[in-house]
Homo-oligomer: A and B are copies of this chain.
């Protein structure tokens, strides 16, 4: 069985980087709770919107992102039992590619380069399960689509859901 796992806000904490950079630039610390059902650029003052949307296009945005809690242990266990691929829609952010590679080498060295994918849209990927935080990725996937909970998607009711890697038993029941 092949499981495809997204990176940003599934195993790498990009939300945290948005909050951190916004505080660095404007002195205000929003919280994950503020982001429920939305994204940071939607709740900041209008004159900051464009800057926030540009963050992931900056050279260092994806450098050394924090690891999502317990993702390493669970993904390693899944990788021992199934065919696990890490699949990131990274092409929109060319600067992210070397950072993402180094990050995987450091935190997920057990994911062989053969099992790493940087793509644009995920409709081109073939697998049994996709774990992702975005509706636009899950909706074009024709296997079992599992939404990994992230502040922006908490109001979405269309998918089976994984709230955190602490709920790993849901996945270990996979046949």
Q: Cβ of A115: which chain B residues have Cβ within 8 Å of it?
A: 120-121
* Least CB distance, A99 to chain B, in whole angstroms: 10
Q: In the assembly, how many copies of this chain are there?
A: 2
Distance, CA A80 to CA B59, complexed state (A): 32
Indicate the size class of the contact surface on chain A: 20 to 34
Q: Cβ of A91: which chain B residues have Cβ within 8 Å of it?
A: 101, 113-114, 116-118
Q: Cβ of A32 < 8 Å from any Cβ of B? A: no
What is the 8 Å Cβ interface bit string for chain A, positions 111-139, against chain B (1 contact, 0 not)? 01111111111011111000000000000
Main secondary structure of the interface of A (DSSP, over half): mixed
Q: Cβ of A114: which chain B residues have Cβ within 8 Å of it?
A: 91-92, 120-121
Q: Report A64-99 residues with CB < 8 Å from chain B CB.
A: 85, 87, 91-92, 94, 97-98
Residues of A within 8 A of B (CB): 2, 4, 85, 87, 91-92, 94, 97-98, 101, 112-121, 123-127
Do residues A116 and B126 form an inter-chain contact, with CB atoms below 8 A?
no
Distance, CA A97 to CA B92, complexed state (A): 13
Distance, CA A121 to CA B126, complexed state (A): 12
Distance, CA A98 to CA B101, complexed state (A): 11
* Least CB distance, A16 to chain B, in whole angstroms: 24
